[in-house]
Structure 1
């Protein structure tokens, strides 16, 4: 245990509990400071049907016809989206196509080169 002293009486006679410390001399209790490690979240890499890396703001194009579940609409091959947004989950792309907000899997689109 690192050298810990009471912030009130500065005595190092301290008991350690699960979530706090307690000074045996003056009885003062204080919360343990959680030391957060420098964890850098790994940026999710989403690739289209041809292996191109997609980023938020890219425009994508359908590579095959897809029927939208619950509707009679079909997203036709070649249909372009508005700028996309990368999200977590199994449908990693949020976008608008044909005036409809939809979530798509990256395997059904290709990146449109600007």
Structure 2
């Protein structure tokens, strides 16, 4: 059984395959058999509020007035954010700049592809 890895959480070798996952009998941690945690993040798909897939460089439109933390300026509904960047490992946030505010991090649930 040298092909079954030790548990990444507790380090014990008392692990076994269960369907598509490995399971640690000592701490009950489960992890996928194929790929690593880094490989799982690469497959994350970033979607807007309507379910459209977003990619780096897209333009998005704000669907609701948003308060910007650390600023007295609000983002109004209909504001266009051009040339977005995807946040590594986080499919619920994007980075971008508006005409008035630079360095925004926005939740995708308040955006639609424009």
Same fold (TM > 0.5)? yes
Question: What TM-score, normalized by structure 2, do the two folds share?
Answer: 0.59
Q: Aligned residue pairs: how many?
A: 78
**How far apart in 2 are the matches of 1:70 and 1:92?**
18
Equivalent residue number for residue 50 of structure 2: 50
Higher helix share: 2
Kindly state the Cα deviation for residue 106 of structure 1 after the two structures are TM-superposed: 0.2
Counterparts of residues 18-37 of structure 1 (less than 5 Å): none
Kindly state the Cα deviation for residue 61 of structure 1 after the two structures are TM-superposed: 0.5
RMSD of aligned residue pairs (Cα, Å): 2.4
Kindly state the Cα deviation for residue 89 of structure 1 after the two structures are TM-superposed: 3.6
Q: Does 1:66 align with 2:66?
A: yes
Relative distance call for 1:91 and 1:48 in structure 2 (3 A) is: closer
Kindly state the Cα deviation for residue 57 of structure 1 after the two structures are TM-superposed: 1.1
Q: Does 1:111 align with 2:107?
A: no
Note the residue ranges of structure 1 that are not aligned, 5 or more in a row.
3-37
Structure number, greater radius of gyration: 1
Question: What TM-score, normalized by structure 1, do the two folds share?
Answer: 0.59
Kindly state the Cα deviation for residue 91 of structure 1 after the two structures are TM-superposed: 5.4
Note the residue ranges of structure 2 that are not aligned, 5 or more in a row.
3-33
